[in-house]
């Protein structure tokens, strides 16, 4: 598909008295600027009926391209074109078409509708030229955009990588339910080819809350925000709203005035796509406050919204073609036109549903989108190792190839593809060379060739499975072999490297090999020993393979021992140091010693193990402090919130207790006991004591309490 360059045909529509309007061409390739006056060529009832036929209501099933609907589009589009494109304006349009055609360029129709809010709500994308028997917006030569002129001309973003799209799918309770997973699967399927090619990176915001969005754009670059959900025009607030979710899954209306600052401060963001019911519609009296227009005015370069409800399958078809065209380097308005054409075959009644709002004068929103192969978060070494594993090469061999190709962990420093030997320059490090080295290592260490004159060598004693236990540990081992590490430096290099350093001191005679060990960069001289007798000693390369395999096993065991000693984890997998303990002694030497420990209770966890094994009748003194936040700004201490309206979200059986208060439980099961800032908990049965907040939904909480736990009997 060829990328078009466009000239602009700017048409300004203004309100005049007595229900009339003035159309004025303010930019054209021919330099003409004709004007004309017109009235909407439909009676109010007739116009309302046409709009109803075009907007039959939202449905999860594809709308049938019924004749009444197609005819309504034709009638409305032809009537608007004939009214606005009066004789002089029509002539200027025709001459402009001829001019750009001769120059092999396109003509972009930019509608400026801010001065005529009463008719801006009409579907101008349906403009139909009876003489040409065509809808203007269906052709990539003549895209139709709604243009908002701004003082600062936006700059094109050099992506220098894949197009990064963040998808937000919100289906709050008490609103028509969306099949969230089906919506996500549609987007994935539509963009699967582009993702596999590396030109698009697709991410999903797992929690469709405003707080989660803020956290995501703080940590990641986002080029496109794609929202799927519900939206409407709030006539009371005179603003458009999108419905995100709050921490409990309830509707959280977010106006353009709230969302705009979040997005305006994220510089890489250039495009917003809103697949939300009524998100492009505006109140006739205040168009600048409608969601789509307001976001564009708040520095969003381009925004695609839906002026009618669109079916899920049609939205997926449009999305796939639209983003694909963007990834191919097309301008955003040409990409929208390309997406419209994708709807014509199977979703003919919905091709005019997308609306493009644009503030960029040339429509070139992104530039230099280039594919990135493999996992974007991985280096070339990871990709190469994955390819080797897919080809059937063992993990140990893949690690050797990684080290040989210079892919050494940051703890050991960068390596080279092959060390200089005998004054020769090192070989270039390439994935192909790494694969060749890995295959060579696997062949020599696992299944060496035996000539007919030699008897079968004895069994190895260490199979290939042991040699391939861990690619990560293998990398550390071979790095240590290349640069021996001892003492504290070995510990800093990692447990596996330390194990190698220790093993290097053992009195083990390493048989020589006629070729250097892969990745070592050292050619071992031949040993001054008697020739091996046939059938008595394995070939030297076999011995080298065994030694490497044995070192890998030792390294793996050392790593596992270090991990189990130093990496105790919580139930959720977060590394947590063991609780600190303090000893409180009584005043008399005969009294028993009471041991207290401090436990951190995170607000984001439903339950935290207090480290106490309960027995019937045993009591535990609990003293708590700290703050847990149940929303971004309102925090509570261990006593919880006295706001009665929040108690509907309490744990079962605690409906009258303060919301968010610290509670205790045996084995994290009912019944639950309120602790607050201090209490004595008496164990009713045997089990483990757990602590947590009186909150049935903790995902969006933050903060923590510190609880001093003292068994008292």
Q: Rounded to an integer, what distance in angstroms lies between the CA atom of residue 537 and that of residue 540?
A: 8
Q: Which CATH architecture has domain 157-369?
A: 3-Layer(aba) Sandwich (3.40)
What is the model's pLDDT at position 118?
87
Question: Would you state the structure tokens that stand for residue 688, as one six-digit string?
Answer: 């483990």
Q: Predicted confidence band at 296 (pLDDT cuts at 50, 70, 90)?
A: confident
CA nearest neighbour of 271 among 202, 186, 364, 371: 364
Contact 444, 545 (CB under 8 A): yes
> What confidence category does residue 513 fall into, taking pLDDT thresholds of 50, 70 and 90?
very low
Cα separation, 227 vs 512, whole angstroms? 64
pLDDT-based confidence at residue 98 (cuts at 50, 70, 90): very high
Which pLDDT belongs to residue 286?
43
pLDDT at position 439, please? Answer: 47
Q: Which of 185, 191, 137, 142 is nearest to 163 (CA)?
A: 191
The residues near 198 (Cβ < 8 Å, ≥ 6 apart) are 162, 371, 372, 373, 374
The set of residues, in sequence order, having a beta carbon less than 8 Å from that of 271 and lying 6+ positions away, is: 223, 224, 225, 300, 301, 302, 303, 304, 326, 332, 365, 366
Q: What is the pLDDT of residue 539?
A: 58
- pLDDT tens column, 380-400: 333 333 333 334 444 444 443
Per-residue model confidence as pLDDT tens digits over 158-215: 899 999 999 999 999 988 888 889 989 999 999 999 999 999 999 999 999 999 999 9
| pLDDT for the residue 586 | 39
As a whole number of angstroms, the distance between CA 275 and CA 256 comes to 15
Q: Give the residue with greater pLDDT, 207 vs 404.
A: 207
Which pLDDT belongs to residue 608?
94
* 3-state SS string for 118-172: HHHCCCHHHCEECCCCEEHHHCCCCCEEEECCCCCCCCCEEEEECEEEEEEECCC
Looking at the predicted structure, is the pLDDT value of residue 663 above 50?
A: yes
Residue located via tokens 């797992």: 206
- pLDDT higher than 60, residue 9: yes
Report pLDDT for 117. 87
Contact criterion met (CB below 8 Å) for 636 and 710: no
Distance set, CA 432 to CA 378, 384, 562 (Å) = 18, 9, 35
Average pLDDT estimate for 116-132: 92
pLDDT at residue 428 tops 50: no
Residue 506 or residue 546, greater confidence = 546
Output the six-digit token pair for 176.
């028509």
The mean-pLDDT minimum among 449-458, 593-602, 625-634 falls in: 449-458
Question: By mean pLDDT, which of 166-175, 298-307, 477-486, 593-602 is the weakest?
Answer: 477-486
Is pLDDT of 495 > 60?
no
**Span 7-24, mean pLDDT?**
94
Region 479-486: what's the mean pLDDT?
41
Q: How far apart are the first and last CA of the chain?
A: 80
pLDDT at residue number 485? 41
Position 150 pLDDT exceeds 90: no
- Do the Cβ atoms of 630 and 636 come closer than 8 Å? yes
For residues 70-81, average pLDDT? 94
pLDDT class of 690 with cuts at 50, 70, 90: very high
pLDDT at 27 over 90: yes
Q: What is the pLDDT of residue 23?
A: 97
- Looking up tokens 């009214």 gives 83
Q: Supply the mean pLDDT for the chain.
A: 75
Q: Picking from 383-387, 659-663, 707-711, which range would have the lowest pLDDT averaged per residue?
A: 383-387
pLDDT, mean of residues 489-505: 42
**pLDDT average, residue stretch 428-440:** 45
Question: CA 169, 172, 176, 181 torsion: positive or negative?
Answer: positive
Overall pTM > 0.75: no
Q: Spell out the domain ranges in the chain.
A: 6-147, 157-369, 380-417+431-446+462-524+539-566, 581-711
DSSP class of residue 712? Answer: -
Among 290-294, 446-450, 692-696, name the one with the lowest average pLDDT: 446-450
- In this prediction, residue 294 carries a pLDDT of 84
Structure-block tokens of residue 568:
């105790």
Q: Which of the four pLDDT bands, split at 50, 70 and 90, describes residue 276?
A: confident
Q: What is the model's pLDDT at position 565?
A: 61
CATH architecture assigned to 581-711:
Sandwich (2.60)
């Amino acid at each position: 598909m060829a990328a078009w360059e466009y000239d602009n045909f700017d048409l300004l529509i203004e309100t005049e008295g007595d229900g009339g309007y003035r159309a004025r061409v303010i930019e054209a390739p021919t330099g003409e600027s004709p004007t004309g006056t017109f009235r909407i060529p439909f009676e109010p009832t007739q116009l309302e009926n046409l709009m109803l036929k075009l907007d039959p209501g939202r449905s999860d099933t594809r709308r049938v391209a019924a004749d009444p609907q197609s005819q309504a589009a034709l009638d409305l589009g032809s009537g608007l074109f004939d009214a606005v494109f009066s004789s002089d304006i029509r002539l200027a349009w025709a001459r402009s078409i001829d001019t750009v055609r001769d120059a092999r360029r396109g003509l972009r129709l930019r509608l400026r509708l801010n001065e005529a809010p009463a008719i801006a709500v009409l579907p101008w994308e349906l403009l139909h030229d009876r003489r040409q028997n065509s809808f203007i917006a269906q052709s990539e030569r003549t895209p139709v955009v709604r243009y908002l002129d701004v003082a600062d001309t936006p700059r094109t973003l050099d992506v220098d990588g894949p197009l990064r799209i963040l998808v937000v799918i919100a289906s709050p309770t008490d609103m028509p339910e969306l099949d969230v997973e089906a919506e996500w699967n549609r987007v994935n399927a539509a963009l699967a080819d582009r993702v596999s090619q590396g030109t698009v990176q697709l991410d999903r915001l797992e929690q469709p809350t405003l707080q989660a969005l803020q956290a995501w754009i703080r940590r990641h670059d986002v080029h496109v925000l794609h929202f799927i959900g519900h939206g409407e025009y709030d006539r009371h607030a005179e603003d458009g709203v999108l419905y995100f979710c709050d921490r409990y899954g309830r509707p959280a209306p977010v106006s353009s005035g709230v969302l705009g600052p979040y997005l305006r401060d994220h510089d890489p963001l250039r495009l917003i796509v809103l697949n939300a019911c009524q998100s492009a519609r505006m109140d006739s009296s205040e168009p600048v406050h409608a969601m789509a227009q307001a976001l564009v005015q708040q520095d969003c370069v381009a925004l695609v919204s839906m002026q009618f409800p669109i079916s899920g399958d049609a939205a997926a078809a449009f999305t796939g073609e639209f983003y694909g065209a963007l990834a191919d380097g097309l301008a955003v308005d040409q990409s929208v036109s390309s997406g419209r054409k994708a709807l014509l075959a199977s979703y003919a009644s919905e091709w005019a549903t997308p609306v493009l709002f644009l503030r960029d004068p040339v429509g070139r929103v992104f530039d230099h989108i280039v594919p990135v192969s493999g996992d974007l978060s991985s280096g070339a070494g990871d990709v190469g190792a994955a390819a080797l594993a897919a080809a059937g090469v063992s993990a140990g061999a893949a690690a050797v190839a990684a080290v040989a190709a210079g892919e050494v962990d940051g703890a050991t420093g960068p390596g080279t593809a092959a060390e200089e030997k005998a004054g020769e320059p090192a070989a270039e490090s390439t994935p192909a060379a790494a694969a060749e080295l890995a295959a060579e290592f696997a062949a020599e260490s696992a299944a060496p060739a035996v000539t007919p004159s030699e008897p079968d060598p004895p069994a190895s004693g260490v199979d290939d499975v042991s040699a391939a236990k861990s690619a990560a540990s293998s990398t550390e081992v071979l790095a240590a072999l290349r640069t021996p590490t001892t003492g504290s430096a070995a510990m800093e290099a990692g447990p596996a490297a330390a194990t190698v350093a220790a093993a290097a001191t053992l009195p083990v005679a390493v048989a020589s090999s006629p070729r250097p060990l892969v990745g070592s960069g050292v050619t071992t001289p031949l040993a001054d020993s008697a020739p091996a007798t046939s059938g008595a000693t394995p070939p030297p390369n076999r011995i080298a393979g065994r030694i490497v395999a044995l070192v890998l096993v030792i390294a793996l065991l050392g790593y596992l021992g270090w991990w189990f000693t130093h990496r105790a984890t919580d139930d959720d997998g977060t590394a947590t140091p063991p609780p600190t303990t303090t000893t409180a002694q009584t005043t008399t030497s005969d009294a028993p010693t009471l041991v207290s420990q401090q436990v951190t209770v995170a607000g984001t966890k439903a339950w935290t193990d207090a480290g106490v094994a309960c027995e019937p009748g045993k009591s535990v003194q609990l003293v708590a402090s700290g703050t847990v936040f149940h929303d971004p700004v309102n925090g509570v201490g261990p006593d919880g919130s006295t706001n009665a309206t929040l108690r509907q979200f309490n744990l079962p059986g605690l409906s009258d207790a303060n919301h968010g208060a610290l509670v205790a439980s045996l084995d994290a099961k009912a019944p639950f006991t309120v602790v607050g800032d201090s209490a004595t908990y008496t164990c009713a049965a045997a089990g483990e004591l757990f602590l947590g907040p009186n909150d049935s939904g903790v995902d969006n909480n933050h903060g923590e309490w510190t609880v001093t736990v003292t068994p008292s009997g």
